[in-house]
Every structure is written in C-alpha cells, then in structure tokens.
C-alpha cells in the first residue's frame, strides 16, 4: 500500500466478532483463560489490549516498521529507550532538544549513571567525532524543537554504524510525522513520536510511541513497557488511531499554511529571523528536501526587538493563534520556548544555542491562510 492508504488500512482488519470497521474500545483489564496460560492472545491489559494493538499495528505500517508500542506519553516512550541502557553508557544527542527530553536526560538519567554529550547535528561528522567506547545510543531530533535544525538521518546512521554497528540510532520524528519522513527507511533503529501532537492531531490525548524493525529490540522494549507499566489506555488508543486516518490530509494543509506563514514572516519588517526548513536560506534546506516529503507546519521566528516585553506583547494579543503548550493539533498555537517548552534548560545553555527571549514558536494549524496571516499582522503591529 502507498502511504495515504496505509493510514486508513495499514495493519487493520474488521473486528472478528461483529465485523466492526473501526476497532472497538476494549475497556477491560483482564481476559478469560481456558486453562492457566491458555488464552486468545490477551491475558492482562498492561501487556496488551486489542484497541492498543490495532493502533500499534497501524503505526508500524505507516513508519515501515515491524513492531510498535504505544505509551502513556512521549516522555514515557523516551524513558523506555533509555532503560535499555545501563550505568556508564553514553548517549550522544543534538544540541537543540525538546526541553522535556533535556530535563529527563540531565535530571533523571544522569543520576542513574548514564552519560550524555551534545553536538550540533547539522553536520554528521560531529556525531562521529563524539563517539567513544561508551557510546550506546545516538538521539536525533529532526526538525528540532524549537530551532528547526535538520539532521541528515541517513548520513548520521552511516557514519555511526561505520564506527560501531551496535550503537542504536533513535529519531524523534514528532515534528515531521511519518507523512513527511520515515527514519527506519534511512537506517535508524528506533522512531519515537509524541503522538499527542500530529498523530492524534486534535489536542485531545497524551500519548507516545516507539516503532522498530528488529525483533530482539522489540522484545526488550515490550518487556520494559510491561514491567514499568507506562502504557496507553484503550480510549486514547482509539482516538489516536482515528487521528492517524486523517494524518495525510491534515499534514498537506499544515505544510501549505506553514510555508505561507514562513514566507510572510520572512518579509515582515519586525522579524529578525525565521526558522523553517522550507525556506531556501535555511541551513538544512537541501537535506530537508532530500529526506522529507514536505516541510511541515512548525515555524519559529525571532523579533527584531529582542526584549522579553516585545515577545509577550505579541504572544498576549494573537486571536486565531492560541497561546498554549503543545503543537500538532488542527488549531494554530503559539508559544514562548524560554518560558514554556524549554524553561527547564538553563539560561546559559539556551542562549548558547539561540533560544532567546525574542524567539517565538508557531504550530500552524489548518485554518484559512488569510485568517492566520491577518492575525500575525495585527499582533506584530502592536
């Protein structure tokens, strides 16, 4: 199947008992066994639930993987990946990360003995040069949150595997979604999604996901998920699966509107810089063209007025763009990374990579383009 068909039919079949086209929401914690250990594939819903299975089969299909796992949140999915490591192991990560990922790395897993180093992944050789004998995992975001940096997944996978084929490559594919890029086809080992965002698409659930090809890695992930218990519930799984079925048509509009917003901001006299991989002057534009189908709906920009007051004036006065955490819903959102999504990163580290008071992040929704541009214009004019 091609992608658009996979979003609807991938890994799916009518429910066996009734022929229901959409999988029922199986609100059950346990399942009948005809004899101890003899059952119909389900024993206890922490291990597996039919609604969650339907979603996981679909996610594996659209990411060109073989095994998928739905978690209680994106951070729960990241936590599971890190639990495959042991004290003394090293993780190489990009220098521009979602604040919650950075917080987990530095305030949780450093205490448990993992080591982390951060490099600019705009250049694949930076990753290769950072590898040590302790390196077990490379954590990639592309596009990054919030500076929209682009990492060449294929190039990074190649240089890392040349040094040590046992090092895992994990890609946070939240911003791009499977519609725009599929890291497993670019030789990554693990794909992670905050399914809260574009996968769900309607700002009505919190969920994470991991997708892999390797059977042994899948076995390890399932054991950790089962033992730690950070599973997605059946109702959220139903909502996420419903969201996936419109992912392709939503992403088309997100991309169209994102490009128009980026172009508008690039030509505005109050805007200093725009971060959007679809712009030809973006540092990662050529790589994005190569590995992404389109450029997405996430746009960040900096005001020429570098004061926090100027940013707050803009943020407090948008009408169509809602000031809120998160991203990827059908509605347009605006956020201030310094005080919201990336507040957990120390100021010195934020400033070093360019997350300053004047940086604003937009999640461009699927509303009419004219309304979005008019809203930005009126808020910038204040």
Return the active site residues.
Answer: 46, 98, 172, 197
Four-residue CA torsion sign, 311, 312, 314, 319: positive
Nearest by Cα to 5 from 310, 244, 254: 244
| Alpha-carbon separation of residue 247 from 3, 63, 329 (angstroms) | 10, 13, 11
Q: How far apart are CA 375 and CA 181, in angstroms?
A: 30
Nearest by Cα to 372 from 44, 285, 380: 380
Q: For 132-135, which contacts have Cβ atoms below 8 Å and span 24 or more sequence positions? A: 132/90, 134/88, 134/89, 134/90, 135/89, 135/90, 135/91, 135/92, 135/164, 135/167
Q: How far apart are CA 109 and CA 41, in angstroms?
A: 34
User: What number of other Cβ atoms are within 10 A of residue 53's Cβ?
Assistant: 18
């Amino acid at each position: 199947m091609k992608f658009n068909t996979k979003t609807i039919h991938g890994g799916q079949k009518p429910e066996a008992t009734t022929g229901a086209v959409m999988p029922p929401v199986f609100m059950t914690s346990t399942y009948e066994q005809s004899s101890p250990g003899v059952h119909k594939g389900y024993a206890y819903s922490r291990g597996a639930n039919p609604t969650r299975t339907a979603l996981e089969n679909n996610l594996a299909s659209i990411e060109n993987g073989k095994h998928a796992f739905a978690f209680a949140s994106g951070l729960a999915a990241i936590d599971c990946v890190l639990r495959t490591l042991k004290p003394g192991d090293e993780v190489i990560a990009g220098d521009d990360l979602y604040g919650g990922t950075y917080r987990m790395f530095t305030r949780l897993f450093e205490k448990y003995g993992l080591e982390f180093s951060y490099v600019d992944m705009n250049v694949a050789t930076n990753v290769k040069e950072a590898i040590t004998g302790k390196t077990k995992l490379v954590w990639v975001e592309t596009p990054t949150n919030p500076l929209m940096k682009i990492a060449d997944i294929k190039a990074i996978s190649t240089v890392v595997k040349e040094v040590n084929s046992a090092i895992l490559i994990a890609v946070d594919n939240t911003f791009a979604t499977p519609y725009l890029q599929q890291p497993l086809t670019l030789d990554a080992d693990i794909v992670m999604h905050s399914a809260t965002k574009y996968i769900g698409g309607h700002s009505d659930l919190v969920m994470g996901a991991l997708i892999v090809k390797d059977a042994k890695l899948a076995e390890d992930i399932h054991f950790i998920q089962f033992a730690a218990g950070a599973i997605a519930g059946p109702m959220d799984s139903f909502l996420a699966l419903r969201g996936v079925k419109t992912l392709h048509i939503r992403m088309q509009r997100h991309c169209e509107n994102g490009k128009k917003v980026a172009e508008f901001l690039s030509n505005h006299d109050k805007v200093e810089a725009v971060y959007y991989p679809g712009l030809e002057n973006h540092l990662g534009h050529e790589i994005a063209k190569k590995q992404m189908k389109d450029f997405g709906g996430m746009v960040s920009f900096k005001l020429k007025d570098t004061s926090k007051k100027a940013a707050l004036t803009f943020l407090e006065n948008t009408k169509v763009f809602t000031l809120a955490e998160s991203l990827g819903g059908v509605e347009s959102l605006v956020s201030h990374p310094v005080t919201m999504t990336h507040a957990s990163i120390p100021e010195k580290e934020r400033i070093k990579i360019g997350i300053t008071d004047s940086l604003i992040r937009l999640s461009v929704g699927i509303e009419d383009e004219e309304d979005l541009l008019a809203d930005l214009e009126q808020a910038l004019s204040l």
